[in-house]
A and B are shown apart, each in its own frame.
Chain A
Amino acid sequence: NAGVMQNPRHLVRRRGQEARLRCSPMKGHSHVYWYRQLPEEGLKFMVYLQKENIIDESGMPKERFSAEFPKEGPSILRIQQVVRGDSAAYFCASSDDRGFSNQPQHFGDGTRLSIL
């Protein structure tokens, strides 16, 4: 499967724990985007990364949330000290190397985070 791979598909954490969500982009893609989908809502942009660089983090909460996309390995969305309000589906998308191109973003199946 050459699509966007996210793991885990489901993640359960207790309040105060850390959550790590992983995303491997499609082969040949070096642009990664993270979105959050709350119940009964559309997707909200969080962060846009290229290899080793954060390009746009205008949608990221100021505290507890961080993202990286290292030179080797998947992109990681990290949520520290999780709270109940962090419960949501987190989607990763990737696009090709043409920067500000008109190519669509391709989405993974998401990680559904539940906070107890």
Chain B
Amino acid sequence: AQSVAQPEDQVNVAEGNPLTVKCTYSVSGNPYLFWYVQYPNRGLQFLLKYITGDNLVKGSYGFEAEFNKSQTSFHLKKPSALVSDSALYFCAVRDPYTGGGNKLTFGTGTQLKVEL
């Protein structure tokens, strides 16, 4: 079975500072990993994905994430946070090769708050 853990319910950071939102995963095979962002009363917006190749993945709005196979982690990062980055962030995993199919398994989400 596949699973995702987001250990922090909330992350607070000052505008202009770097931010990190943590994610660890568990799958039987090779993971497909995704980050999504959700604004209030909206659906999830795709930020970036890791499928294979370079461990550092760059995505939308200046976000990036680093895949670390030995630590089974896929932390989301941004060098300089903006107030407009404040939202709910979800990490998700898909394991299509060992029975996981196409479904995404999500973490419980991390609320990011960027303050002036």
* A109 at the binding interface (Cβ < 8 Å): yes
| Contact assessment for B105 and A45 in the assembled complex, using a CB-CB cutoff below 8 Å | yes
Q: How large is the interface on B (under 10, 10 to 19, 20 to 34, 35 or more residues)?
A: 20 to 34
Which residues, 9 to 67 on A, are CB-close (under 8 Å) to B? 31, 33, 35, 41-45, 48, 55-56, 58-59
Q: Are A48 and B42 in contact (CB under 8 A)?
A: no
Q: Is the CB of B51 within 8 A of A102?
A: yes
Which residues of chain B are near A33, meaning CB under 8 Å? Answer: 102-104
The total of Cβ contacts below 8 Å across the A-B interface reads 63
Across the interface, name the chain B residue whose C-beta is closest to A59: B103
Total chain A interface residues with beta-carbon distance under 8 A: 29
Cross-chain contact B43 with A4 (CB below 8 angstroms): yes
In-complex Cβ contact of A56 among B42, B49, B103, B108 (8 A) = B103
**A80 CB–B CB distance under 8 Å:** no
Q: Which residues of A are interface residues toward B (Cβ below 8 A)? A: 4, 6, 31, 33, 35, 41-45, 48, 55-56, 58-59, 91, 93, 95, 99-100, 102, 104-110, 112
> Could you list which residues of chain B lie within 8 angstroms of chain A, going by C-beta atoms?
32, 34, 36, 41-46, 49, 51, 90, 96, 101-109
